[in-house]
Structure 1
Amino acid sequence: MVRGANLALRFLLELAALAALAYGGWQAGGAWWSRLLLAVLAPTLAAVIWGRWVAPKAKHLLTDPARLVPEWVVFGAATAALFATGHPVLGAVLALLAAGNRVALWRLGTGTGGNPITR
């Protein structure tokens, strides 16, 4: 049950990161079309990074600890977007929850896709 709850939280955190990146793109200065472009491209780039190296069915799945690099890039960018748009508390909560969730999954011996990890 704890494992399932942590995996569900992980999925929600991934969605929150994508939403934060889209929001950050929309809040950027400039014309409406450039803001729209950033609001689409930022989460798309994050999804590509995630899908290529982090997602459970990624073709180029990285193993721990190398897998932490793209995870930190995505969650770090989402946190930075929240800070830059005037939401430091949300940014801090996202960062702390993502880090805590990753540690909890590691302690449970579970990868982010629910698969067992070797230590």
Structure 2
Amino acid sequence: MGNAWWNLTLRFLLELAALLGLGMAGWSLSEGWWRWILALALPLVAAALWGTFAVPDDPSRSGRAPVPVPGAVRLAVELAILFGGAAAFYLAGHAAAGLVMALLIALSYAFSLDRLGWLLRQ
């Protein structure tokens, strides 16, 4: 299951962007000390979910699965975090960034059909 280097790089950058978007939304959609809590907690929770729930022997990851889940569950986690990050940019007042991110997520998955098939068979 080989993804092109550019798609793996794009996917990594989208993961980072999702965390940034969640932090920005946490900051801009709250006030007072809640700003700090949400700006830090939202990306930390997303990163913890991303790293914890995995399909055993996933060749696109280390192969380790701290909490083994079926492929469909892993895909749902990925989509929720990535598109959640895009929506977070939009909600934080950066609509263009959110839209571009959503399009890039769709592009990345369109070039990852082999991985999508593998996930859904697990």
Relative to the length of structure 2, the TM-score reads 0.77
Deviation at 1:44, TM superposition (A): 0.5
Amino acid at match of 1:40: L
Distance 1:61 1:96 in 2: 29
Is 2:22 the partner of 1:21? yes
What is the aligned counterpart of 2:91 among 66, 78, 84? 84
Q: How far did 1:58 drift?
A: 3.2
**1:36 correspondence with 2:36:** yes
Deviates more, 1:90-99 or 1:58-67: 58-67
**CA deviation vs aligned residue, 1:8-45 (integer Å, no higher than 9, x gap):** 111011001111111111112321x2101100000001
The count of corresponding residues between Structure 1 and Structure 2 is 112
Cα 1:40–1:97, aligned 2, differ >3 Å: closer, same or farther? Answer: same
Counterpart of 1:86 in 2: which secondary structure?
Answer: coil
Change beyond 3 A, Cα 1:104–1:63: farther
- Mind listing any 5+ residue stretches in structure 2 that lack a counterpart? 55-59
Residue number in structure 1 paired with 2:101: 94
- Alpha-carbon RMSD across the aligned residues, in angstroms, is 2.5
Worse-matched range after superposition: 35-44 or 84-93 = 84-93
What secondary structure does 2:111 align onto? helix
* Structure 1 residues not aligned, in runs of 5+: 112-116
Task: State the distance in 2 between where 1:82 and 1:5 align.
Answer: 23
Q: Work out the percentage of aligned pairs sharing the same amino acid.
A: 35
Q: Which amino acid aligns with 1:24?
A: A
Letter in 2 for 1:42: L
1:1-119 aligned within 5 A: 3-31=4-32, 33-54=33-54, 56=61, 57-106=64-113, 109-110=114-115, 117=118
TM-score between the two structures when normalised by the length of structure 1: 0.79
Is the 2:3–2:112 contact (alpha carbons within 8 Å) kept by the matching residues of 1?
no
